Amino acid sequence: MDTKDIYTEAKRPVISIRDLKKSFGTLTVLNGIDIDILKGENIAVLGKSGSGKSVLIKIISGLLKPDSGIVKVLGQEVDKITAAELQQLRLKIGFSFQNSALYDSMSVKENLAFPLVRNKRDLSIKEVNDAIEEVLNEVGLSQTINQMPSELSGGQKKRIGIARTLILKPEIMLYDEPTSGLDPMTSIEINNLINKVKQQYNTSSIIITHDLTCAKQTADRVTMLLNGKFLPPGKFEDVFNTQDQSLRTFYDYNFINSK
């Protein structure tokens, strides 16, 4: 796998993880994760449910603490910095949750305003409204501004969830199963949005997914979380030429042996 040429491109890693371990009681979930995610790179992480994908990105965003290992995000060790520093760091990390996690007591507009007004208290109402309009346009949902989350479809919720993170102009995006539960058409819209975000905001992303189409369309590199470790990451085509049984299972299921 020629990951080497990507490394030599003199890009700095925005996320750098070394020998990360995490257990819950007797259940070992992550058992020595090593990865560098480079500036402007999208990396897809595959893995069956319960393999610890969400735990990994929760550790990256400081929602969970690692048991051991080094997790550096934008040069800072997330589990070592102070609460105030973590707060600042989090403004640069966008987290798109699996079930969108929109605040269901707030309208779309209030959802989008929330991260902004709470972190940039000196903004005028007009500046906030402009920012909301901008991200809503970005995700193509301007018409939903006064709706409640319960009135949105699954795909719309996902996009509003992404918009809510974009409003802070993040450097890193973490997508937790962005296309799960969506029909193929809507999935493709989300994939396109992920690519658009990468270009427009120059983000680096981790995209957790079961969906190989999503991985293929959005990722520069693909890896798989297996037994608490990453398989060596590589380009989509390279990774899926492998005879590794667990990868073949994914591949065969998604493309119904189209090879």
Partner 1 sequence: MAPDLENSEILPEKKALISKKIDSFFTDIYNVYKFIALFFKELFSRPFEWKEVINQCYQVGYKSLALVSLTGFITGVVFTKQSRPSLSTFGASSWLPSLVSIAIIRALAPLVTALIAAGKVGSNMGAELGSMKVTEQIDAMEVSATNPFKFLVVTRILAITFMMPVLILYTGFIGMMGSYLNVHANELTSLTAYFKSAFATISFLDIFSSIFKATMYGFTIGVAGCYQGYHAQNGTQGVGKAANTAVVLSMFLIFVEELVIVQVVNAIR
Ligand X SMILES: Nc1ncnc2c1ncn2[C@@H]1O[C@H](COP(=O)(O)OP(=O)(O)O)[C@@H](O)[C@H]1O
Give, in order, the Cα–Cα distances in Å from 220 to each of 94, 142, 204, 216.
Answer: 19, 30, 10, 8
51 interface partner picked from Mg ion, partner 1, ligand X, none, CB below 5 to 8 A per type: ligand X
Dihedrals φ, ψ of 163, to 5°?
-60, -40
DSSP bridge partners of 206: 43, 174
Of 131, 192, 207, 191, the residue nearest 166 (C-alpha)? 131
Dihedrals φ, ψ of 60, to 5°?
-60, -35
Q: Which two tokens stand for residue 211?
A: 């969906």
Number of residues that bind ligand X (CB under 6 A): 11
Work out how close the CB of 221 gets to Mg ion at its nearest, in angstroms, rounded to a whole number. Answer: 20
Our finding on whether 204 is near ligand X (CB under 6 A) is no
Output 64 or 197, the one with its CB closest to ligand X: 64
Which residue's CB atom is positioned nearest to Mg ion?
54
Output 12 or 65, the one with its CB closest to partner 1: 65
114 interface partner picked from ligand X, Mg ion, partner 1, none, CB below 5 to 8 A per type: partner 1
Which residue's CB atom is positioned nearest to ligand X?
54
Q: What is the DSSP letter of 179?
A: T
Residue list 29-88, contact with ligand X (CB under 6 A): 29, 47, 49-55
Using DSSP, state whether 142 is helix, strand or coil. Answer: helix
97 interface partner picked from partner 1, ligand X, Mg ion, none, CB below 5 to 8 A per type: partner 1
Output 49 or 249, the one with its CB closest to Mg ion: 49
DSSP bridge partners of 176: 208
Give, in order, the Cα–Cα distances in Å from 20 to each of 8, 66, 135, 209, 237.
Answer: 24, 7, 35, 20, 27
168 interface partner picked from Mg ion, ligand X, partner 1, none, CB below 5 to 8 A per type: partner 1
Work out how close the CB of 169 gets to partner 1 at its nearest, in angstroms, rounded to a whole number. Answer: 13
Q: Are strands 172-176 and 76-77 parallel, antiparallel or unpaired?
A: unpaired
CA dist., res. 231 & res. 226, Å (int): 7
DSSP bridge partners of 190: none
Using DSSP, state whether 116 is helix, strand or coil. Answer: helix
Work out how close the CB of 103 gets to ligand X at its nearest, in angstroms, rounded to a whole number. Answer: 21
Dihedrals φ, ψ of 45, to 5°?
-115, 115
Of 32, 42, 20, the residue nearest 233 (C-alpha)? 42
- The residue from 16, 54, 96, 100 that contacts Mg ion (CB under 5 A) is 54
50 interface partner picked from Mg ion, ligand X, partner 1, none, CB below 5 to 8 A per type: ligand X
Work out how close the CB of 98 gets to partner 1 at its nearest, in angstroms, rounded to a whole number. Answer: 7
Output 38 or 112, the one with its CB closest to partner 1: 112
Work out how close the CB of 47 gets to ligand X at its nearest, in angstroms, rounded to a whole number. Answer: 6
| Residues near ligand X, by CB under 6 A | 24, 27, 29, 47, 49-55
| Residues near Mg ion, by CB under 5 A | 54
